[in-house]
């Protein structure tokens, strides 16, 4: 084997190893926001509200300024329930409710800014509304605010702040937050590295069916 063949082989091996490690790291450290949970909660709330109010009543109450009706009318437009799907109108009605302090509407409005649905994408506005909701105790908002700090989206990256908000949501029983807190403890990000604490929080998440936490525990030979 000549020197050039050797070098090319070595570079290919090292490059493959590096890509493999990066991919393993990404799989091993899934920190994410519970978009599915947030939308599922909004959908279920809407279904329950519509079981007690006709669509006409929802629109009438929303127009009169009722924040719960405004929130659910926004849900109807977002999911295309009875009315035609319209993200801009969803944003309009969620904003009206959010400005009255409706905690779930604030969280949903933040989500729309984060994703750029029905409104121009704006991470800073997303953080603004997630914070308002999170400070009122909404676990979804707390988790998403933690995610924003973890990624440095809309705010300066700050692992300690990320852990602070993950913990608030985790202590309310949010499985995604518990999983994220577990990874923070394992890697020592925003908190002193502590494997036992990592397993503790992964186990809480795993018992709720969180597959990421379950896989993390299995990979490390732990049970829950």
pLDDT grade for 38, boundaries at 50, 70 and 90: confident
Query: For residue 13, is pLDDT > 70?
Result: no
How big is the CA angle at 36 (ends 35 and 37), to the nearest 5 degrees? Answer: 90
Query: For residue 111, is pLDDT > 80?
Result: yes
The per-residue pLDDT for 29 is 42
Torsion of CA 138, 206, 209, 139, to 10 degrees: 0
Query: For residue 19, is pLDDT > 80?
Result: no
The per-residue pLDDT for 35 is 62
Query: For residue 136, is pLDDT > 70?
Result: yes
Q: Between these two residues, 108 and 1, which has the higher pLDDT value?
A: 108
What is the average pLDDT score of the chain? Answer: 87
What whole-number percentage of the chain has pLDDT above 90?
80
CB 76 within 8 A of CB 94: no
Chain centre to alpha carbon of residue 169: 11
Q: What is the DSSP letter of 155?
A: S
CB 90 within 8 A of CB 113: no
What whole-number percentage of the chain has pLDDT above 70?
84
Which of left, alpha, beta for 80 (phi over 0: left; psi -120 to 50: alpha)? left
pLDDT grade for 34, boundaries at 50, 70 and 90: low
> Within 10 A of 25 (CB to CB), how many other CB atoms are there?
10
Structure tokens given for 132: 């308002």
Within 13 Å and on the Cβ side, how many CA atoms surround 87?
A: 12
pTM of the full structure: 0.82
pLDDT (average), residues 127-146 = 96
- Report in angstroms the alpha-carbon separations of 208 from 53, 83, 167: 33, 35, 16
- Report in angstroms the alpha-carbon separations of 203 from 27, 140, 158, 175, 182: 18, 20, 25, 10, 9
The per-residue pLDDT for 15 is 42
Q: What is the pLDDT of residues 51-101, one digit of tens each?
A: 999 999 999 999 999 999 999 999 999 999 999 999 999 999 999 999 999
Q: What is the DSSP letter of 85?
A: P
CB neighbours of 27 closer than 8 A, spacing ≥ 6?
none
């Amino acid at each position: 084997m000549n020197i050039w063949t050797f070098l090319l082989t070595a570079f290919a091996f090292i490059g493959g190893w590096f890509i493999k490690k990066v991919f393993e790291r990404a799989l091993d450290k899934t920190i994410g926001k519970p978009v599915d949970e947030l939308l599922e909660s909004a959908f279920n709330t809407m279904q329950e509200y519509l079981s007690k109010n006709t669509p006409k009543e929802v629109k009438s109450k929303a127009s009169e300024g009722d924040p719960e009706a405004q929130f659910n009318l926004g849900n109807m437009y977002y999911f295309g329930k009875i009315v035609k799907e319209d993200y801009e109108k969803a944003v309009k009605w969620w904003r009206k409710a959010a400005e009255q302090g409706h905690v779930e509407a604030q969280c949903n409005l933040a989500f729309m800014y984060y994703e750029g649905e029905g409104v121009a994408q704006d991470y800073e506005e997303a953080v603004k509304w997630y914070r308002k909701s999170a400070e009122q105790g909404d676990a979804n908002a707390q988790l998403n605010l933690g995610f924003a700090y973890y990624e440095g989206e809309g705010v300066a990256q700050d692992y300690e702040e990320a852990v602070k908000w993950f913990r608030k949501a985790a202590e309310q029983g949010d499985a995604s937050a518990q999983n994220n807190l577990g990874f923070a403890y394992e890697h020592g990000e925003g908190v002193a590295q502590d494997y036992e604490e990592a397993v503790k929080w992964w186990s809480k998440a795993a018992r709720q069916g969180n597959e990421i936490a379950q896989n993390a525990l299995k990979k490390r030979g732990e049970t829950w």
